[in-house]
Amino acid sequence: MEKKVRVRFAPSPTGGLHLGGVRTALFNYLFAKKHNGTFILRVEDTDQTRFVEGAEEYIVSCLKWCGMSPDESPQTGGPFEPYRQSERKATYKQYADQLIADGYAYYAFDTPEELDVKRKEIPNFTYGLATRGEMRNSLTLTEAEVNALLAENTPHVVRIKMPANETVSFTDLIRGHVSFDTNLVDDKVLLKADGMPTYHLAVVADDKAMEISHIFRGEEWLPSAPIHILLWRYLGWEDVMPQWVHLPLILKPDGNGKLSKRDGDRLGFPVYAQNWTDPKSGDLTKGFKELGFMPEAFVNLLAMLGWNDGTDQEIFSMADLVEKFSVERISKAGAKFDFEKAKWYNHEWIKNADAKTLLPIVKDAFAVQGTEITEDAYLEKIIDLIKDRCHLLTDFIPQSAYFFIAPQEYDLPAVKPKWTAEKAEFFNAYTSLISDELPATVLEEKFKELAATHNFKPGELMLPFRIMLVGGKFGPGVFDIAVALGAAETIQRIKNALSAFE
């Protein structure tokens, strides 16, 4: 019988959610939905020193914005509760004790000061096969000494005892056969002095408890794979071990190294899904949502960072992605992040969205700027006129503000050098031809006919007309603008501009 697909996104609540983390969540989600499986959010908050207030709620908000609500989570519950590791603390010690009893782990009583001394003595010191015999642990102390230290509640950690001269191998669904020499892997801490597990023990115990079938995680976790595989083996669970999928890195735009928040700050683009304000420092890190990205575009561009369906298609809805997603099409190589390409995706999604979909988003954007819009039908008409010109949702404000507020200033240098009294006469005459009953095509015809009778080429008058209506050299078709504004407003703007152009 085929194993039911159960995958998890397991972030730590330590701050903003990097787009690499969102992509990991996305690939988990797509795989689950493709195979009628379950997508789980599990919060890995065992490192209490790095816990940040509000970070879990932020993660949940990011997933909701992206359209990836989990089937099981701390918020929704589920058959494998609890979904926060800190609430599962009591379950981990038994596994650490079992590993010690079976000779696969040991107590280490070294103080931080003793470890610092070793780090100064030995360059690139690691606690493992070559050094464990020189340290204060249950492998070097007598049983009586160990029991006495434990009885006195001496601070200690539990470390895995990596075997000598073994090769740990596994099959990664992206990378194929992967092997590690155990001599090169250090004895990682499994249980900390405060009784909390480290990631290494907790992730294995929880994946087993929650019957996880596939582990999608970033390539940076590959060095930890031999530890985790040995834990599955040592705890007697190797026959139900999940399949491994280590995703390629998202790289800096130049391809040199993993994309970081610092790169975004330096190059002027976000790397977080949504705005994140550090509760301690108050520092704001901007996100894709607030910059003006549609969630559909954000999901689309993330999917294409390291995956394609084998065709030239680039625009995918979430439904398309679920239908076409396959692990076999994920690349081994890292994917360069290109912000201009990201904006291209957003532009395509904005262009193809209907005005009703964009309406609430644009209304909210105007409200933030202090402009309350009550006429939805009018705003929908404006959205349809200008959406092709918007790469970001925030572009709707500068691209459409003149539909709601008449220009206060004009691009006079573009008009004045060639402005004449005859042109003013033309526009005065044109005001008498403008009517609410006329579509844009007829307004344009009348404009051109009148221009001919005044001995002007239409091109000589189009730019001044545009500047009269919007204040500058931008916007959609000028006659479309006139129709949207209505006859009375268009005529008034022409008169206002004629005074300014004198």
Q: Which residues are the active-site residues?
A: 261
In angstroms, the CA 96 to CA 138 distance is: 14
Nearest to 83 by CA among 50, 52, 34, 38: 38
At 43, list the tokens: 């919060």
- Do 482 and 470 touch, CB atoms closer than 8 A? no
* Distance (Å, whole) CA 273 – CA 260: 13
What is the per-residue DSSP string for 360-423? HHHHHHHHHTT-----HHHHHHHHHHHGGG-SSGGGHHHHHGGGTS--SS--GGGTGGG--HHH
Place of tokens 């904006």: 343
SS3 106: strand
Beta-carbon contacts of 350 under 8 Å, excluding residues fewer than 6 positions away, are 294, 297, 358, 387, 390, 391, 393
**Are the C-beta atoms of residues 227 and 105 closer than 8 Å to each other?**
no
Spatial CA neighbour of 157 closest among 101, 104, 199, 110: 110
Total Cβ atoms within 10 A of residue 167: 10
Count the neighbouring beta carbons within 10 Å of the beta carbon of residue 472.
14
Label each residue of 139-194 as H, E or C.
Answer: CCCCHHHHHHHHHCCCCCEEEECCCCCCEEEEEECCCEEEEEEHHHCCCCEEECCC
Burial class of residue 484, CB neighbours in 10 A (0-12, 13-18, 19+): buried
User: Within 13 Å of residue 260, how many CA atoms lie on the same side as its CB?
Assistant: 6
d(CA 306, CA 479): 45
Taking alpha carbons only, the member of 249, 236, 220 closest to residue 20 is: 249
10 Å CB burial of residue 330 (0-12, 13-18, 19+) is buried
